[in-house]
Amino acid sequence: MKPISRRKFVKDSIKVTAAASLLTPLTSGAFAIAEPAPFLFSQIALPYAFNALEPNIDAMTMEIHYTKHHAAYVKNVNDEIAAGKFVYENEKDFFTNASKLSAKAKNNSGGAWNHNFFWQIMKPNGGGAPTGKISEAINGTFGSLEKLKEEFTKAAMGRFGSGWAWLVSHEGKLKIGSTANQDNPLMDSSEFKGVPLLGIDVWEHAYYLKYQNKRNEYVANWWNTVNWDEATKRFS
């Protein structure tokens, strides 16, 4: 037998080792397939300064609402996602399975999403009247913008305790309704369903510093903050 040189021996050994590594089960050691990172909720950057919606919503309320209440919802739901090892892919998937979630996961996921939505459907120097398709839909459904406001305000005032009032698009039609606590119309567990176009937070923390128990004044002034451009975009 012809002797094998040291160089060839080392070269052949490297080839064998590399081939063997390809046969190593993918669940072992460094070659394990990493599990996909779970979907987590996030808090959007506030689109304006804390005082930008004054005099309708005061700066202190906005700061506490955003940095304390909203931030806590995001932290709490993400803690629950980690503890429960949820594998939902996105917000839609999460809410489609809301009825299967723990109370902590459902309540805080709603709080996280609802507030991200809330900040975006308000803007400085908002209000006025919508135009285009959403205006046509409002007139066709409610008769006028004023009638829409009346029905929406009725839903906001009629929600006993904490919750939200909504304008949604559902199966091609506009609807107004409300949900309790941090539920929203995207949840499979919600009796009121649809794609949110407008929403007002009627939890007391959203208005009590400025309006105390006068929810009606808060709702009336909130119309001056409505971002109809954002509502129109979500309706398209």
As averages over each run of 10 residues, the pLDDT of the chain (236 residues) reads 47 46 44 68 98 98 98 97 89 95 95 98 97 96 98 97 97 95 97 97 98 98 98 93
Res 113: pLDDT: 98
d(CA 235, CA 172): 10
Contacts of 77 (CB under 8 A, 6+ apart): 41, 104, 105, 108, 109, 111, 112
Question: CA angle, corner 80, sides to 76 and 81, nearest 5?
Answer: 115
Q: What pLDDT is recorded for position 21?
A: 42
Can you give the pLDDT at residue 87? Answer: 86
- Structure-token match 């429960």, residue found: 84
Determine the pLDDT at residue 145.
Answer: 98
Q: What is the pLDDT of residue 9?
A: 43
Task: Say what the pLDDT of residue 85 is.
Answer: 84
Residue 220: predicted pLDDT:
98
pTM: 0.84
Domain 57-236: CATH class, spelled out: alpha beta
